[in-house]
Amino acid sequence: MLAAKANMIQQFNHRNIKILQNLGYEVHVATNMVDFGSMSTDENERFKLWMSNNNVIAHQVDFERRMGTLKGNIRSIRQLREIFKTNDFCFIHVHSPLGSILGRFVAKQFKVPAIYTAHGFHFFKGGPKSGWIVFYPLEWLFAFFTDTLITINDEDYTLAKKHMHANKIVKINGIGVDALMLDLRTDFLLSCKLIAEEHFLYDSIF
């Protein structure tokens, strides 16, 4: 699970992590736990403790804010490559614009399938032109790097079905993975080892 900032995982993905573990996956989290986003230092420390107590393997990646700088993004890509080199991941689950782009970019190099949850596209009908100029081309391009694109509203789902090129596009009602709609066992398990034989997941939220 990969996210640019730890608060994204802390606020939205405890349940998703437990669902994945109950499905038999070992969950890794890659995020920035130093510049951790919109939560307090105490909340960040409690989150790190929660991961440790729940057998979640955490990786520090120095993701920058917003879309980052060229230098910072290159550093993050190098850190992600090192994580991928030393782990045998079945697939990744990425969140948010920057994290999803860098995560999918590296996953493609290592031939690791990518799930992307779009928490609301930054371009929409009546929205600012800057969203369409900056984010639409990026989302369109990196959809080619995406095995499953998860949307959380009707407008994003309709747009994705029409313009994006992920192998599979689904819609869920709100944030979270509906195990009935996205059957991880049938979609991804066949290409992975069983957890008893070191069957790993890198579920990336970015």
pLDDT 10s digits, 54-91: 999 999 999 998 888 999 999 999 999 999 999 989 88
3-class secondary structure, 115: strand
Q: Tokens 């192998």 label which residue? A: 167
DSSP state of 195: G
pLDDT score, position 204:
41
User: Are the C-beta atoms of residues 72 and 64 closer than 8 Å to each other?
Assistant: yes
The pair of three-digit structure tokens given for residue 24, joined into one six-digit string: 């038999």
pLDDT score, position 132:
77
pLDDT score, position 205:
40
Cα separation, 72 vs 63, in Å, equals 7
pLDDT score, position 113:
92
3-class secondary structure, 129: helix
Helix (H) or strand (E) holding 191: none
Give me the mean pLDDT over the 92-111 stretch: 91
Mean pLDDT of the chain, nearest integer: 82
Helix (H) or strand (E) holding 168: strand 168-171
Q: Amino acid identity, residue 18?
A: K
Whether the per-residue pLDDT at 123 is higher than 80: the answer is: no
pLDDT score, position 122:
64
Helix (H) or strand (E) holding 147: none
Instruction: Write down the pTM of the prediction.
Output: 0.81
The radius of gyration of the chain's CA atoms, rounded to the nearest angstrom, is 16
Report the length, in residues, of the chain.
206
DSSP 16-85: HHHHHHHTTPEEEEEEESSS--SS-HHHHHHHHHHHHHTTPEEEE----STT--HHHHHHHHHHHHHHHH
Q: Which of 135, 136, 168 is nearest to 151 (CA)?
A: 168
- Cβ of 121: how many Cβ atoms within 10 Å? 20
pLDDT 10s digits, 141-197: 999 999 999 888 888 898 889 889 899 998 887 555 554 445 555 555 545 544 333
Q: Which of 25-39, 57-71, 98-112, 125-139 has the lowest mean pLDDT?
A: 125-139
